[in-house]
Amino acid sequence: MQNDRYSITLVNSIYERDGEWKLSFGTAGIRACLGSGAAEINPATMGRFVNGVAAWLLSTYGAEACAGRGVVIGYDARYFSTDFAALGAALLTARSISVRIFPEYTPTPLIAYAVRPLGALLGLCFTASHNPAEYNGCKLYGEDGVQAGEEITAALAEYIPAAAYPRFKSPTNYHDPAAVRSLIETGIYDRLDVSPAEQAETTKLIRKYLAPVPQSLAADYRRSISSGISEPPAEALDISILYTAMHGTGAQYMLPLLFELGFRRVDTVAAQIEPDPRFPTAPRPNPESPEAMTLVLEQAERTRPDLVLATDPDADRLAVAIPDDRGDYLLLTGNQTGALLFDYLAQNYWNGTTQQAASTRQTATQSTTPALVKTIVTDDFARDVAEHYSAVTRETLTGFKHISSVMLQLRNEERNFVPLLGFEESIGFAVGDAVRDKDGIAAGAYLAAAARQYAAAGLTLYDRLLQLNELTGGWHASALSGYEFAAAPGKSGKEIGDELYELFGSPGIHRRLADCVGLSARRFDNFADCPGPALRTKAGRIHLGEHTVVALRPSGTEPKLKFYIWT
């Protein structure tokens, strides 16, 4: 990992003069550009954030539970992720809140996984996922391992503004990749501007309440995935796989997992396999984007693997490419990958394999029905596949705090349903119950197992994709477009997006859109008018003709309207 002395200079007067908390919770925690401002991500703002989290934990759970169960902390390889993790651990332990911290860079799914076996009250992962290098932030997980929902974030939004900014000895903070390891080894955090007596007390509390996450947890996590994958057929071929970690944290978990599952022909993109906060070969490291996949697809054209897998920098998303019938590599949409995954999971569920039953925590019986959970802007391909397997489909809002909550509800409250897969079109997939968030590592392992199973029957994944289209009534196509509009003075991106949604929600616009494509506008689903809160949001779906749907929703942060089109 490269360290080019990236730094942030703090100006204490900025934070003391303006006490307003200017960062906000988005789909998954907080995220913004690095910088010295009060509305940017830096040690001062992240320190205030953690102080607010500490106050909420003590108020909600009490001192005894906080000291006993505490918080689990992980972090990716971005600039300042290790620094924020070490700072967070120091501030929490100084309040007698126990902290288990990962000693190495960690994929986000592992923090979601770790919360439950470690019995933690909260999980914190310092990451900005697939954003460019200048971003950072923090994702939060409740004690059930699900991304923090509205109840937690609304409470934190009350506690954080009342919390204090920490003061630092030096105004210039340099990114230190070894910050966490140093804290674990010495028990000393000496960057805060405190008295010698306070420093001594802080050191005593760090050494009492800080511990590294057990080394066995990584193996337990991999086992939670492999236990749900069927043994390969005796005649199974060892398919070839090309994998890229996109300068992130995925390789140290994906590669051992594939090896344990019996895959021996696994190649990697050498230039992207090691963590690097600069993302030098993929400045916008979102594998959903074809531009980010350039390097791995170029290598695939030379080496001709059966399957291409790519995880984003924090390894919670999975992109997939497969050779088509002409030998060209097809970059699958999230909708196509979701359909293939559910197909494999449902086949093995109904086959009643011991492994699959264990993975779902329930046994396949005549009284249980497999279930799929998808978002309202995810197309109907996987739903149609689910229908083929007599499975039910539940829809929910965008984001895995919603998807995983619905999966958990099906599992706990409607015990006749077994949720096999939750996913959204933006290449996020949650398989089973071990990780209650999207997990690119698990999804990659399951898709590799599917490719191997079909190869034993003489089929490629592309062959199976064609078969699924035929089984469900024809080729499913989908596309996403985002239209950005100029910001208006005095209005936030969300306000502009909401106004744009109201405009495009009018019947006149629907008729014009239908006229453009030569189809009739049959129906408009306006989710803003849903009677129940579970699906109420600023989003809509225009049904055109017999099979075409245009879904639209405004961005939560930008003056942008997103269109999802499928047929």
278 residue type, one letter: R
How far CA 151 is from CA of 30, 142, 395, 567, in Å, comes to 15, 10, 21, 36
Q: How far is CA 302 from the centre of its chain?
A: 31
Alpha-carbon gap, residue 496 to 492, rounded angstroms: 6
pLDDT of residue 358: 42
If DSSP codes are grouped into helix, strand and coil, which group holds residue 452? helix
Q: Per-residue pLDDT for 342 more than 60?
A: yes
User: Contact at 8 Å (CB) between 203 and 194?
Assistant: no
Q: Per-residue pLDDT for 3 more than 60?
A: no
pLDDT of residue 328: 96
Q: Within a 10 A sphere around the Cβ of 12, how many other Cβ atoms?
A: 14
pLDDT of residue 405: 94
Q: Per-residue pLDDT for 27 more than 90?
A: no
Q: Per-residue pLDDT for 364 more than 50?
A: no
Report the pLDDT averaged over residues 160-182. 93
- Residues 133-155 have pLDDT tens digits of 999 999 999 999 999 999 999 99
- Residues 51-98 have pLDDT tens digits of 999 999 999 999 999 999 999 999 999 999 999 999 999 999 999 999
Q: Per-residue pLDDT for 356 more than 50?
A: no
Q: How much is the mean pLDDT over the chain? A: 88
Alpha-carbon gap, residue 455 to 457, rounded angstroms: 5
pLDDT of residue 264: 95
pLDDT of residue 544: 75
If DSSP codes are grouped into helix, strand and coil, which group holds residue 423? strand
Closest CA to 272 of 248, 307, 291, 300: 248
Who has greater pLDDT, 526 or 79?
79
Report the pLDDT averaged over residues 208-214. 98
Report the pLDDT averaged over residues 502-516. 62
Report the pLDDT averaged over residues 517-536. 67
pLDDT of residue 398: 85
User: Contact at 8 Å (CB) between 74 and 110?
Assistant: yes
Closest CA to 433 of 61, 113, 213: 113
Least reliable range by pLDDT among 73-82, 478-487, 543-552: 478-487
pLDDT of residue 490: 53
Predicted confidence band of residue 362 (pLDDT cuts 50, 70, 90): very low
